[in-house]
Chain A
């Protein structure tokens, strides 16, 4: 190995969605950073769906943005269709989603990386780590160069020992068109990590010129696109349409008759796949009573005819793929441009990580993204961002930034990963967040901007804009608390219409807005000043007022849980010497090595009694 002339603060391995955020975060925090990736033309490539966001994922993007990450800005700049989902439901479960121009998305991200101070990009495949005394100090590459660094972040995605399946044919690959990453996962295993195998899949890419869109249902974007990023004022570009098609019994018959040539049903694939992203053959087998399955035909970009048929991923042989796609109404003549495939890859069970994403086994080594058993760009980016921040903080000899489950979906994501591990690909859902009402897209900035600024990631101008917004919100609350509607001075007819007939005492604006069905537009009719309040301020104030009771209730739960969350368990804590734990609980604690009592309490099978025992013992240690 030739040792490279220069040593870096942070080296990020892999320029997928996790790697890009990690590298940008570290560089923006002033650390000299090197980003190594197998193919510089495949940076931030969307391996699957050309879309960002959706329920819980949109939340993650807003949080990444609030902390100073890039994903939100990148999709705002390269999106081709924007929609808010669940507009008829409460604010906590409203989420943003956008179709991306896949090529533009990757090119813009590459540009941002190239223009970033303190950041270098190099094409290289990492094959091993250099480790001394349990601390990582560099990476070895395939061409024989060792790059020294203080911290390393691994974000290898689906690439480690990647194996691509199309029918019973398979070949090594990290993603269609890219080589796999060989060597690194074996090395990790040698270092003592538990390495497992997962599986995922993607549909074929279809030639849009051979689809009869006129016979399909259209799905438009929102008339007024809402940006993901708190720093984006507005989105002006023209929006593209998606289309909806359905499989039918014929499709299902084709699939059923070909199951003997499926690597999944033939037992060739060993890795565990995601239940929420089943292949079409899975759906047909598991839900035989369903006569059709829906697919959204999503454009892959403005300058391409490639179409992504969501929900139709498969690992069936190519001839079956043709027959199957062509059995769909509107797709009778369809041509396949890239075949559908499944991929198996190595991952490292995340219970081997601290909540900072540093590995428990090797100091200064961080794992982020799909290597941790997650799936999805947003999940990957969120972890990448946190790993980048925490590696930079480590170099600066500062405490890591760990977000609580009550502070961010990112906190829920990482806490789930490090306390429960991942036995199947992990995806975020809003139902995973017990404090869902607190973790909304609309207040991600209020929750996280301060933290992004404190660690030195969020630029001053973004922070100032935020502070201004926060002040305005505070002032508006103040105004609403003192402004009054008096029955004498108001139009009785108007009040009656709103259900306030017989109002005796005057009402503050806040009390008025608290009523269900009452909005700012009603207030504006009574109080002219309200008309001048900007929409984003109105939105925030109204949500907080309407949700107040529930927000308070969740806040109370947060406080109740706080005592456990804050109690650290020493890394070398001797569970063996602790009487009063059952063998089973002891074994779990030894295996998981939780960092805090809060983490310990969420490990399945660890009883409340065991937590009491632990709490007492830790307290005793502190007293000594």
Chain B
């Protein structure tokens, strides 16, 4: 029924402290553990015993973390296959790095529910139990769909769809040439095909850069607090930092420099940037601050657009709205302890929003949750066996597709036969299919018939 390859996943919820567990199941589990687990004792591991040691990349010889490792030999394990569990010190970054290492050694990232599926297929659990798991899988797919509608994700899949369009176009041009040699139609120029594929590749490369989760975890993410003067930006920063850092006064323009602080939100390192309140000003020093702030908007991974809910949305707010329009934004309506006055303009209605009060502390947890889930998508989902899949998958998908497109460009450039290079484009579409849905032959034919007058 399934390929007996070795699978791995993080089996503790993402980002929660305490310990993190990486579970590996399959014939190669023990092998992989032996490669990356360094311990003082000699000899192989015995089944069902805890061993203490360190996890290290054999290629780099730097240890990542201390760890406890237990091997459960088949059939006395959850999946009835050889299972290795690596326990380390929580911290999302470390756990993820160890998982990456395990994957690098040849394991494959487990599908949602795959451990349970194996347990079922190997007769470890019965149908009733399995069906419960199926519901979870189902739930996860639905959650994935919901996530897709999420602003950032929506943006991602939109871009992937654009890349797909480019590839479909190139493939349609090639297929038309192959399937309709007798038609009186003008076939696409080579450069048209190449440009279309390059366009797709460019988009994909951009996405990979932008969505490199490794980067997110290694360097943390940067979150910019933007808002006109005195809406409570610094108070928000302080609340998030849980200590007073920025000077808080009621004189507009007090915070003139960019203040950087790192907070840890559920294991995710978040670099908070507070800015000088943006407003049109003549003060030279402050002008500099405003300029800096505007610049930062462009490079921040996320902008918290802070508004004063107790006042009307005014021109100064509008100025900032213009500046953040192209960014990833969370609307933070502060001062929920006062009477609500502000009506959020339509343009912002689609953005995720949260009401807070830095005075009473309401809404702060919700805000943290929102920041976290912007970057780590599956937090909302029960995360046993389910790592940042949607992101890791996307990256995977994009890398695979990008690889196919590069091969295509090489082969096409070398003058290889078109029915052969068409394979590379099909593979690329197939890879993207996980996000965009499969591209069927009819999709290609549709485009051919739309563009060319075919019909003898």
Q: How far is the CA of A293 from the CA of B456 in the complex (A)?
A: 10
Per the 8 Å Cβ criterion, residues 409-456 of B in contact with A are: 417-420, 422-423, 426, 440-441, 444-445, 449, 453-456
Q: How far is the CA of A89 from the CA of B182 in the complex (A)?
A: 13
Q: Is A458 an interface residue (CB 8 A)?
A: no
Q: Is A482 an interface residue (CB 8 A)?
A: no
Q: Give the segment of B173-181, B207-215, B318-326, B329-337 that binds chain A.
A: B173-181
Give chain A residues whose Cβ lies under 8 Å from the Cβ of B454. Answer: 276, 278
Q: How far is the CA of A580 from the CA of B131 in the complex (A)?
A: 7
Give chain A residues whose Cβ lies under 8 Å from the Cβ of B93. Answer: none
A563 and B2 in contact, given A90-B420, A277-B456, A580-B131 (Cβ under 8 angstroms)? yes
Point out the residue from A93, A436, A604, A612 that lies within 8 Å of B117, measured CB to CB: A612
Asked if residues A310 and B131 are in contact (CB atoms below 8 Å), the reply is no
A89 and B455 in contact, given A431-B444, A579-B134, A616-B121 (Cβ under 8 angstroms)? no
Q: How far is the CA of A173 from the CA of B120 in the complex (A)?
A: 59
Asked if residues A89 and B417 are in contact (CB atoms below 8 Å), the reply is yes
Asked if residues A277 and B455 are in contact (CB atoms below 8 Å), the reply is yes
Give chain A residues whose Cβ lies under 8 Å from the Cβ of B370. Answer: none
Q: Is A255 an interface residue (CB 8 A)?
A: no
Asked if residues B419 and A89 are in contact (CB atoms below 8 Å), the reply is yes
Q: Is B219 an interface residue (CB 8 A)?
A: no
Give chain A residues whose Cβ lies under 8 Å from the Cβ of B453. Answer: 278, 283, 286-287, 290, 293
Asked if residues B419 and A437 are in contact (CB atoms below 8 Å), the reply is yes
Q: How far is the CA of A92 from the CA of B417 in the complex (A)?
A: 10
- How distant is B120 from chain A, measured CB to nearest CB, in Å? 6
Q: Is B350 an interface residue (CB 8 A)?
A: no
Look across to chain B and name the residue whose beta carbon is closest to the beta carbon of A412: B441
Q: Is A311 an interface residue (CB 8 A)?
A: yes
Give chain A residues whose Cβ lies under 8 Å from the Cβ of B183. Answer: 294
Binary interface encoding of chain A residues 275-307 relative to chain B, with 1 for a CB under 8 A from any of its CBs, else 0: 111100011001100101110100000000000
Asked if residues A612 and B418 are in contact (CB atoms below 8 Å), the reply is no
Asked if residues B418 and A293 are in contact (CB atoms below 8 Å), the reply is no
Point out the residue from A282, A434, A436, A620 that lies within 8 Å of B419, measured CB to CB: A436
Q: Give the segment of B81-89, B135-143, B296-304, B382-390 that binds chain A.
A: B135-143
Give chain B residues whose Cβ lies under 8 Å from the Cβ of A276. Answer: 445, 449, 454-455
Asked if residues B426 and A434 are in contact (CB atoms below 8 Å), the reply is yes
Q: Is B127 an interface residue (CB 8 A)?
A: yes
Q: How far is the CA of A618 from the CA of B344 in the complex (A)?
A: 52
Q: Is A254 an interface residue (CB 8 A)?
A: no
Q: How far is the CA of A616 from the CA of B128 in the complex (A)?
A: 12
Point out the residue from A85, A430, A550, A616 that lies within 8 Å of B420, measured CB to CB: A550
Q: Is B191 an interface residue (CB 8 A)?
A: no
Tally A residues with Cβ within 8 Å of B.
52
Q: Is A123 an interface residue (CB 8 A)?
A: no
Point out the residue from A277, A430, A582, A619 that lies within 8 Å of B121, measured CB to CB: A619
A429 and B179 in contact, given A553-B423, A609-B137 (Cβ under 8 angstroms)? yes
Tally B residues with Cβ within 8 Å of A.
42
Q: How far is the CA of A567 from the CA of B426 in the complex (A)?
A: 25
Q: Is A607 an interface residue (CB 8 A)?
A: yes
Q: Is B147 an interface residue (CB 8 A)?
A: no
Q: Is B288 an interface residue (CB 8 A)?
A: no
A-B contact count (CB 8 A): 119
Q: Is B103 an interface residue (CB 8 A)?
A: no
Asked if residues A86 and B184 are in contact (CB atoms below 8 Å), the reply is no
A437 and B455 in contact, given A430-B179, A613-B137 (Cβ under 8 angstroms)? no
Q: How far is the CA of A580 from the CA of B127 in the complex (A)?
A: 13
Asked if residues B138 and A431 are in contact (CB atoms below 8 Å), the reply is no
Q: Is A55 an interface residue (CB 8 A)?
A: yes
Q: Is A414 an interface residue (CB 8 A)?
A: no
Give chain A residues whose Cβ lies under 8 Å from the Cβ of B349. Answer: none
Q: How far is the CA of A607 from the CA of B183 in the complex (A)?
A: 37
Give chain B residues whose Cβ lies under 8 Å from the Cβ of A286. Answer: 453
Q: How far is the CA of A54 from the CA of B455 in the complex (A)?
A: 13
Asked if residues B445 and A90 are in contact (CB atoms below 8 Å), the reply is no
Give chain A residues whose Cβ lies under 8 Å from the Cβ of B134. Answer: 579-580, 612-613, 616
- How distant is B433 from chain A, measured CB to nearest CB, in Å? 10
Q: Is A526 an interface residue (CB 8 A)?
A: no
Asked if residues A293 and B184 are in contact (CB atoms below 8 Å), the reply is yes
Asked if residues B456 and A93 are in contact (CB atoms below 8 Å), the reply is no
Binary interface encoding of chain A residues 32-60 relative to chain B, with 1 for a CB under 8 A from any of its CBs, else 0: 00000000000000000100001110000
Point out the residue from B121, B417, B441, B455 that lies within 8 Å of A431, measured CB to CB: B441
Q: Is B130 an interface residue (CB 8 A)?
A: yes
Point out the residue from A56, A310, A436 that lies within 8 Å of B456, measured CB to CB: A310
Look across to chain A and name the residue whose beta carbon is closest to the beta carbon of B453: A287
Give chain B residues whose Cβ lies under 8 Å from the Cβ of A623. Answer: 123
- How distant is B434 from chain A, measured CB to nearest CB, in Å? 8
Q: Is A209 an interface residue (CB 8 A)?
A: no
Give chain B residues whose Cβ lies under 8 Å from the Cβ of A550. Answer: 420, 423
Asked if residues B178 and A86 are in contact (CB atoms below 8 Å), the reply is yes
- How distant is A358 from chain B, measured CB to nearest CB, in Å? 25
Q: Is A432 an interface residue (CB 8 A)?
A: yes
Give chain B residues whose Cβ lies under 8 Å from the Cβ of A49. Answer: 456
Q: Is A615 an interface residue (CB 8 A)?
A: yes
- How distant is A512 from chain B, measured CB to nearest CB, in Å? 19
Q: How far is the CA of A277 from the CA of B445 in the complex (A)?
A: 13
Asked if residues B423 and A437 are in contact (CB atoms below 8 Å), the reply is yes
Q: How far is the CA of A85 from the CA of B1 in the complex (A)?
A: 42
Point out the residue from A92, A310, A609 that lies within 8 Å of B141, measured CB to CB: A609
Give chain A residues whose Cβ lies under 8 Å from the Cβ of B141. Answer: 607, 609
A296 and B419 in contact, given A85-B181, A604-B440, A620-B127 (Cβ under 8 angstroms)? no
Per the 8 Å Cβ criterion, residues 118-160 of B in contact with A are: 120-121, 123, 127, 130-131, 134-135, 137-138, 140-142
Asked if residues B1 and A615 are in contact (CB atoms below 8 Å), the reply is yes
Give chain B residues whose Cβ lies under 8 Å from the Cβ of A607. Answer: 141
Q: How far is the CA of A310 from the CA of B184 in the complex (A)?
A: 12
Asked if residues A616 and B130 are in contact (CB atoms below 8 Å), the reply is yes
Look across to chain A and name the residue whose beta carbon is closest to the beta carbon of B137: A609
User: Which of A85, A283, A429, A434 has the most chain B CB atoms closer than 10 A to its own CB?
Assistant: A429
Binary interface encoding of chain B residues 182-224 relative to chain A, with 1 for a CB under 8 A from any of its CBs, else 0: 1110000000000000000000000000000000000000000
Give chain B residues whose Cβ lies under 8 Å from the Cβ of A567. Answer: 1
Asked if residues A580 and B456 are in contact (CB atoms below 8 Å), the reply is no
Asked if residues A93 and B178 are in contact (CB atoms below 8 Å), the reply is yes
Binary interface encoding of chain A residues 425-453 relative to chain B, with 1 for a CB under 8 A from any of its CBs, else 0: 00001111010110000000000000000
Look across to chain B and name the residue whose beta carbon is closest to the beta carbon of A623: B123
Look across to chain A and name the residue whose beta carbon is closest to the beta carbon of B126: A620
User: Which of A286, A310, A437, A609 has the most chain B CB atoms closer than 10 A to its own CB?
Assistant: A609
A563 and B1 in contact, given A85-B182, A283-B455, A620-B130 (Cβ under 8 angstroms)? yes
Asked if residues A93 and B445 are in contact (CB atoms below 8 Å), the reply is no
Give chain B residues whose Cβ lies under 8 Å from the Cβ of A282. Answer: 455
- How distant is B372 from chain A, measured CB to nearest CB, in Å? 25
Asked if residues A580 and B137 are in contact (CB atoms below 8 Å), the reply is yes
Look across to chain A and name the residue whose beta carbon is closest to the beta carbon of B134: A580
Asked if residues A616 and B117 are in contact (CB atoms below 8 Å), the reply is yes
Q: How far is the CA of A93 from the CA of B117 in the complex (A)?
A: 42
Asked if residues B179 and A431 are in contact (CB atoms below 8 Å), the reply is yes
User: Which of B127, B131, B418, B419 has the most chain A CB atoms closer than 10 A to its own CB?
Assistant: B419
Asked if residues A278 and B455 are in contact (CB atoms below 8 Å), the reply is yes
Q: How far is the CA of A623 from the CA of B1 in the complex (A)?
A: 13
User: Which of A49, A56, A613 has the most chain B CB atoms closer than 10 A to its own CB?
Assistant: A613
Give chain A residues whose Cβ lies under 8 Å from the Cβ of B131. Answer: 579-580
Binary interface encoding of chain B residues 38-58 relative to chain A, with 1 for a CB under 8 A from any of its CBs, else 0: 000000000000000000000
Give chain B residues whose Cβ lies under 8 Å from the Cβ of A56. Answer: 179
Give chain A residues whose Cβ lies under 8 Å from the Cβ of B178. Answer: 55, 86, 89, 93, 430-431
For the complex of A and B, the 10 pairs showing the least CB-CB separation, nearest first, are A580-B134, A294-B184, A90-B417, A431-B175, A287-B453, A609-B141, A310-B456, A432-B441, A278-B455, A275-B449
Pick 9 A–B contacts, CB within 8 A, sort by A. Answer: A55-B178, A85-B182, A429-B441, A434-B426, A436-B422, A579-B135, A613-B137, A613-B138, A616-B134
- Beyond the given A294-B183, A429-B445, please list 6 additional residue pairs across the A-B interface where CB-CB is below 8 A: A55-B178, A276-B445, A310-B456, A431-B445, A582-B142, A620-B120
